[in-house]
Chain A
Amino acid sequence: MAKILVPIKRVVDYETKVRIHADGNKISEDGVKWIVNPFDEIAVEEAIRLKEQKGDVEVVVASIGPDGTSEQLRTALAMGADRAIHVNTDAYIDSDAAHRILAEIYLRDSFQLVIMGKQAIDSDASQTGQLLAARLGLPQATFASKLVIDDSFATATVVREVDGGLETLRIKLPAVVTTDLRLNQPRYPSLPGIVKAKKKPLDVIELSGLGIDTAPKVRIVSMQPPAPRKAGVKVGSVAELLDKLSNEAKVI
């Protein structure tokens, strides 16, 4: 049986207008809605599709975060993942810490593939997948928009969205693949899926029990709102627009 590991991150819903906490170095969590990082949803979908295509595949989702993180793992189970691992912590986890923990989870089992998001939409670091591949000495294919795996799970052919076009790579498995927006359109969990998810295994592991050094290497010192743009004007016609652009803004 082939096993696929899908790390998913709990993030603030992208529809939410985030507010900076009074402490000045974090986001206020009052009343925010939490979701599975959209790129990770794409990763879950891709893993489930591989399972549907190939049959003998187990999809394991894993997340690091506080108590509530189990909700996002249940969402992934409801989509069709087989089991979940929740590394429970209230500590601040940066990409470096996240990849160390994920490496430990990877090494506890025998996975053929890791599929994860190209970036988390909160910190936008875009590091964890590559760090994980480097730590485990694995090939990587980041920003994937197409993924084809051979039946024996020995190699993957991956189309990557890179500057200037699309690159196609062949990589040996096990490997780390990170998802871009065009890889697939994730499904919504179905009602039977949600019911089934409640019975699927969800292991909670305390981070403190893993003995991993998770001291942040990148610390958030302060946060500020970006400088607002000054208010603009509405113009009444194409002629007026062109007049403003050439005589006022002097850009044409």
Chain B
Amino acid sequence: MSRVILAYIENNGVEVPKGSLSTIQAALLLKKAHNYSGLVGLLLGGDGTEEAAKKVAAFGLDEVLYVKNNLLKTYLATNYALAFKKVLETLAPTVVLALADTRGRDLMPRISQHLDAGQASDVIEFVDGGRFKRPMYAGNVLATVEITTARKVVTVRQSAFDVAKSGASECPIRELSIDISADSGMEFLSFDTVKSARPQLVEADRIVSGGVSLKSKENFEKYIVALADVLGAAVGASRAAVDAEYAPNDWQVGQTGKIVAPKLYIAVGISGAIQHIAGMKSSKTIVAINKDPEAPIFDVADYGLVADLYQAVPELISVLTASKS
């Protein structure tokens, strides 16, 4: 029996997001370490999907399949699940692998249900072909789980895998034509983008995060965003800062927000609740600035500065700005 991995690759009609390059990397690792016979990429979308498919042809996959259909132009769970199921009628992968971002988390359980397969979510390591490591209990526990069904669905944590590199010889690309009906009971109305010229949180090498201690949206801009700008960093926030609307939801770092692992993470005025730490403790170097010497964030910080952020952050910004010019 051939054992094939099917990796779901996102696209926006032009590009393949960096996260999906981590999906490919994870799939390549799984294939190599556990003797899968093939690795097929799958893209779903509207116009432009073919172009996006071409962009991943040289990443070491064995084949890239794509489905182009007007109903797949904007993502809707029902339509995507329907198209995915049709693809699975022509291909019987042993493992379906996708990213554990909001898209993957929304879509993959629908695929698991269809396949009657067990799903391991947010996997950070492959133990063997059927066993996976994943954090539980806000990262307090690292569990090894076993999917007991023959077919398996896995979502992977982006920050735990590098991005795949292109350079392999180009693999075949094939279009699958698929009929899906129009009324799925879901309709896309609008998307309100967090506009930002800064790096994406989960892809950034450096992150500056602020807490509720910033007291206002204006201060959040003036201190956190400004510090991030001089460092070329992405901006993160604690849940409390997001709840208070100092920062958009997309910036929440933590167990129930984004999981990040940059080279440098600077937590400013964040207490270090375990739900926050769950989202950033894999960062290479952690800096904490907090006026309370007992704040739990100092337990995970490589460098802790006990200081009032309203003094320390402007000083940091001015020294860094001066050293840049």
Q: Which residues of A line the B interface, CB within 8 A?
A: 12, 14, 17-18, 20, 27, 39, 94-96, 99, 118-119, 121-131, 133-135, 138-143, 145, 157, 160-172, 175, 180-182, 215-226, 229, 232-235, 237-239, 241-242, 244-245, 249, 251-252
Given contacts A121-B138, A131-B110, 18 further A-B contacts (CB under 8 A): A14-B138, A95-B109, A130-B105, A130-B106, A139-B77, A140-B110, A167-B188, A169-B76, A182-B242, A217-B149, A221-B145, A224-B141, A226-B139, A232-B298, A232-B300, A244-B303, A249-B264, A251-B206
Determine whether the beta carbon of A124 is less than 8 Å from that of B122. yes
Determine whether the beta carbon of B119 is less than 8 Å from that of A169. no
Chain B residues in 8 Å Cβ range of A216: 118, 148
Which among B76, B110, B239 has the greatest number of chain A C-beta atoms within 10 A?
Answer: B110
Determine whether the beta carbon of A135 is less than 8 Å from that of B142. no
B160 close to A (CB within 8 Å) = no
Chain A residues in 8 Å Cβ range of B144: 220-224
**Is chain A's binding surface mostly helix, strand, loop or mixed?**
mixed
B68 close to A (CB within 8 Å) = no
Determine whether the beta carbon of B110 is less than 8 Å from that of A130. yes
With contacts A122-B136, A165-B191, A171-B187 taken as known, whether A182 is within 8 angstroms of B243 at the C-beta atoms is yes
A118 to B249, CA, bound (A): 15
A20 to B144, CA, bound (A): 13
A157 to B251, CA, bound (A): 24
With contacts A131-B113, A232-B301 taken as known, whether A223 is within 8 angstroms of B78 at the C-beta atoms is no
Which among B113, B118, B131, B184 has the greatest number of chain A C-beta atoms within 10 A?
Answer: B113
Report the interface size for chain B: residues with CB under 8 A from the other chain: 83
B162 close to A (CB within 8 Å) = no
Q: Which listed residue, A122, A181, A241, touches B287 by the CB 8 Å rule? A: A241
A121 to B137, CA, bound (A): 6
Which among A119, A225, A226 has the greatest number of chain B C-beta atoms within 10 A?
Answer: A226
A149 to B78, CA, bound (A): 20
With contacts A125-B121, A232-B301, A251-B284 taken as known, whether A134 is within 8 angstroms of B113 at the C-beta atoms is yes
Interface string of B296-325 (1 = CB under 8 A from A): 001011111111000010011001100000
Q: Which residue of A lies closest to B314 (CB)?
A: A238
Q: Which residues of B line the A interface, CB within 8 A?
A: 76-78, 81, 101-103, 105-110, 112-114, 117-122, 131, 135-149, 184-194, 206, 231, 239, 242-243, 248-250, 255-256, 263-264, 274-275, 281, 284-287, 293, 298, 300-307, 312, 315-316, 319-320
Determine whether the beta carbon of A218 is less than 8 Å from that of B109. no
Determine whether the beta carbon of A124 is less than 8 Å from that of B284. no
B18 CB, nearest partner CB in chain A, Å:
12
Chain B residues in 8 Å Cβ range of A251: 206, 263-264, 284-285
With contacts A119-B256, A124-B135, A239-B319 taken as known, whether A139 is within 8 angstroms of B147 at the C-beta atoms is no
Determine whether the beta carbon of B186 is less than 8 Å from that of A169. yes
A-B contact pairs, 7 of them (CB 8 A): A131-B112, A168-B188, A171-B185, A220-B145, A232-B302, A249-B303, A251-B284
Chain B residues in 8 Å Cβ range of A237: 305
Determine whether the beta carbon of A162 is less than 8 Å from that of B319. no
A163 CB, nearest partner CB in chain B, Å:
5
Determine whether the beta carbon of B319 is less than 8 Å from that of A242. yes
